[in-house]
Structure 1
């Protein structure tokens, strides 16, 4: 009888222990799952791309226009390319003048008309026999008047190649005659249709090594 009671007590104790262990294991498993979820929330494995933040010492990015580039390029050199607002024909007499024409020297439109009215001597210009890509020259007291021949006829259109060739021809004359100051309009632009940024770049390429000041007058009275 005693043995049966003892065996019953052992079976009951075993059932209680199993139930307790099962509940404890379930609690531990639940706790582990919650902990894993908490850890995952605190330390997610997904890579986050954060937006870049500018520091106080970082200079803002900006673009530089062609005029600023030209100014920076010539800042430490003897060559200067300066743009001003004013009357080209009011430039100091210490500055020679230049503009673009056709090889026929008709000069019937644009700023060429003003050059023709003031300096004339078309026959003398034609007698020099200059073709596209060259330069014809008149002298007015201590200054020179350069006629950059950039096209065969006045009604035609110049190219950047013909303009460059004319500029080189003018540069050679200026070197020989020690011309160090030049006043021009926005040559090749206006009715000739070239772009000033490209033209000014050609000026820098051709004259960048010269001891020369070029003043560009952006306003020419009609």
Structure 2
């Protein structure tokens, strides 16, 4: 009798396990496996950071990438900023010109020397009384020559703030006179010591909403 009771209880336990515990345990196991797989799929992707290029003829990787991003940001706007190799003074007369100077208009070094030789009128520039953060202007036939005053003296150094202020002053003149094409060197760089990557970013910030084409001429001696 005792053996029959134990056998009945064993059968009952087996039936309960098959009908209730086993399916739940199986479902839990599947959920656990799915969660583990999902967790693996949700692991963050690793970001591959490339080192700057060491090739002298190419811009560093981070600069090139920044330029590409700015071009993409401006793709839907009317503002375009491009760079070419060539002599700035060979730019079409449809393009106005701009470069950086000190408020004393000494123009004794860098590309400013060439502007002084070609366009002169230094006394007229000084008579405009423009201080750092402003812009002096000469007219050459149908185009304008912009002198971005980015520092008090020619031997000094500009800042990004003074450059930005001069760019804004030039933008206001360009708006009033319907100037839509501009040719420039890498303003503020070279002997002035600013970084072109940051300067070009300032150009995009100041002119991004303008209907304007800016061509940057990089003179490369042959």
Q: TM-score, normalization: structure 1?
A: 0.71
Give the equivalent residue in structure 2 for 1:158.
Answer: 158
The superposition leaves residues 38-85 of structure 1 with CA deviations (integer Å, 9 ceiling, x where unpaired) of: xxxxxxxxxxxxxx89xxxx9x96776111112111211100000111
In structure 2, what is the Cα distance between the partners aligned to 1:114 and 1:70? Answer: 30
What does residue range 142-153 of structure 1 map to in structure 2 within 5 Å? 142-153=142-153
Given that residues 74 and 80 in structure 1 are in contact (C-alpha distance below 8 angstroms), is that contact kept between their aligned partners in structure 2? Answer: yes
2:188 is aligned with 1:188: yes
Q: Secondary structure at the match of 2:123?
A: helix
2:120 is aligned with 1:120: yes
Query: Once the 2 structures are TM-superposed, how far is the Cα of residue 220 of structure 1 from its aligned partner?
Result: 6.5
In structure 2, what is the Cα distance between the partners aligned to 1:205 and 1:220? Answer: 27
Name the larger-Rg structure.
Answer: 1
The superposition leaves residues 83-122 of structure 1 with CA deviations (integer Å, 9 ceiling, x where unpaired) of: 1111100000000000000000000000000000000000
Query: Which runs of 4 or more aligned residues in structure 1 lie more than 6 Å from their structure 2 counterparts after TM superposition?
Result: none
Q: TM-score, normalization: structure 2?
A: 0.71
In structure 2, what is the Cα distance between the partners aligned to 1:83 and 1:66? Answer: 14
| Aligned alpha-carbon RMSD (Å) | 2.8
In structure 2, what is the Cα distance between the partners aligned to 1:157 and 1:220? Answer: 24
The superposition leaves residues 136-179 of structure 1 with CA deviations (integer Å, 9 ceiling, x where unpaired) of: 00000000000000000000000000000000000000000000
Query: Any stretches of 5+ residues in structure 1 without a counterpart?
Result: 1-51
In structure 2, what is the Cα distance between the partners aligned to 1:100 and 1:207? Answer: 17
Give the equivalent residue in structure 1 for 2:201.
Answer: 201
Query: Any stretches of 5+ residues in structure 2 without a counterpart?
Result: 1-39, 51-61
